[in-house]
Amino acid sequence: MPRKEVLRIEKLKTHYYTLGGIVKAVDGVDLRVYKGELVALVGESGCGKSTLAFSIMGMVPPPGRIVSGKIYLSDINLVELSDEELRKIRWSKVSMVFQGAMNSLNPVMKVGDQIIEAMLYHDVISRPEEGRSTVKHLFELVGLDPNRIDSYPHELSGGMKQRVVIAMAMALNPDLIIADEPTTALDVTTQAKIMEVLKDVQKKTGVSILLITHDLPLVAEVSDRVYIMYAGKIVETGDVFTIFKSPRHPYTQGLIGAVPSIRGPKKKLVALPGEPPDLRFPPPGCRFHPRCSKAMDICGKKEPPRIEFGPDDFVSCWLFAKEGERK
């Protein structure tokens, strides 16, 4: 089955040029999302997940910038676009639900107007009134009362705001939604409901979703494929069964091992022993080797090769390299 590629990232590097040094937050990432897929991006705090997301949106905050690499969104390389071209792509092709989405709504504007506005400035409609029926449909899609269109954010509960944000992300029928820890600020029951909404929206519209999260049980439940990120690099990827049933990278094993069972009670990610490295001065060789229980000599000297097992199925680890290469 030939699958249509929605997003293809090649060798992306995004660094922050701070006074204290260059923070290599994204350092050579390859990632692909196909149509209708839910792809999870998992990694410890500070490994560069949000930076990757901002790179795709073309809005890496200064002092950061994309150093090299390519980001293809249905065959358009976003890295080469001008500001105005980028502005037009944003939200129409790729929208985003932000980390801490509770605060993504402007407190002094009606929620409906905030959605209509996106349509207006992408020339989908020419007058605000024309957008109202679309917004009501979107509200129904995410399970919100359409009469809430003229509410202000403070009149809504956290879960309702989150639904508005998802509705807003769908306003222009994008190919891809990036959801950066979309449920962190919510209580557990609401979290589950919101994830259901997101899955439901995906089923009805066929939109692809890149889900960024720490929540491994959630990943196991909802995603099709998983990328494991560590210190600015993708260390392993595969379909959700491979990753959870037979994880190959010691880091992935550590993450999964920290969660008792996929079906078991949800539990916060237990930190692996040790600290993630300072991304200004990452360790030489494999960035994980100082924390790795299976580290060998070579791991601290040379960067591990990428061992491919199939399309979109690889691990970057010396353990899987042929004997002859481990020198």
Partner 1 sequence: MFLFITIMFFIFRLMPGNPIGLILEQYNLTPEAAQRLIHLWGLDKPVWQQYLIYIKNLLKGDMGISYVYNAPVSSVIFSRKLLNTLALLISAHGMALLIGMILGVWAAWRRGTPIDIGTLVTALVLYTIPVFWLGLMLLMMFAVHVHWFPLSGTITPARSYKDILQYIGDYLWHLTLPMISITLIRLGGDFLIMRNTMINVVREDYITTAIAKGLPEKIVVWKHAARNALLPIVTMAGLDMAFVVSGAVLTETVFGWDGIGKLTYEAAINRDYPVLQGLFFILVVVVLLANFLTDLMYAYLDPRVRY
Return residues touching partner 1 (CB under 8 A): 57, 59, 87-92, 95-96, 98, 100-101, 103-109, 117-118, 121-122, 152, 154, 168
**Cα atoms in the 13 Å half-sphere on the side-chain side of 199:** 13
Q: What is the DSSP letter of 175?
A: S
Confirm or reject binding of residue 100 to ligand ATP (CB under 6 A). Answer: no
**Chosen residue from 31, 33, 37, 49 binding ligand ATP by CB under 6 A:** 49
For residues 52 to 71, the per-residue mask of contacts with ligand ATP, x marking binding by CB under 6 A and - elsewhere, is ---------x-xx-------
Measure the CA angle with vertex 178, ends 172 and 182; round to 5°: 110
Binding flag, residue 51, Mg ion (CB under 5 A): no
Query: Is residue 299 a contact residue for ligand ATP (CB under 6 A)?
Result: no
Q: How far apart are CA 48 and CA 27, in angstroms?
A: 9
Q: Does 25 bind ligand ATP (CB under 6 A)?
A: yes
**Of Mg ion, partner 1, ligand ATP, none, which one sits near residue 57, judging by CB under 5 to 8 A according to partner kind?**
partner 1
Residue 287, interface with ligand ATP (CB under 6 A)? no
* Stretch of 60-68, 98-106, 160-168, 297-305 contacting Mg ion, by CB under 5 A: 98-106
Length of the chain: 327
Residue 49's alpha-carbon distances to 90, 125, 145, 294, in angstroms, are: 19, 34, 33, 25
Q: DSSP E strands: which ranges in the chain?
A: 5-18, 21-34, 38-42, 64-73, 76-77, 94-97, 176-180, 208-213, 225-230, 233-239, 306-310, 313-316
- Count other Cβ atoms within 10 Å, centred on residue 135: 24
The size of the interface with ligand ATP (CB under 6 A), counted in residues, is 17
Helices (H), 170-187: none
- Distance separating alpha carbons of residues 53 and 213, to the nearest angstrom: 12
Mark residues 147-166: x for contact with ligand ATP by CB under 6 A, - for none: --------------------
Which residue of 7, 9, 23, 222 would you call a contact of ligand ATP, by CB under 6 A? 23
Residue 45 found at the interface with ligand ATP (CB under 6 A): yes
Q: Do residues 245 and 325 lie in contact, with contact meaning Cβ atoms separated by under 8 Å?
A: no
Segment near ligand ATP (CB under 6 A), from 31-39, 46-54, 156-164, 234-242?
46-54
Residues in contact with Mg ion, counted by CB under 5 A, come to a total of: 2
Q: Which residue is nearest to ligand ATP (CB)?
A: 50
Q: How far is CA 307 from CA 52, 69, 257, 322, in A?
A: 23, 21, 22, 10
Nearer to partner 1, 107 or 264 (CB): 107
Q: Can you give the binding site for ligand ATP, defined by CB under 6 A?
A: 16, 18, 23, 25, 43, 45-51, 61, 63-64, 99, 279
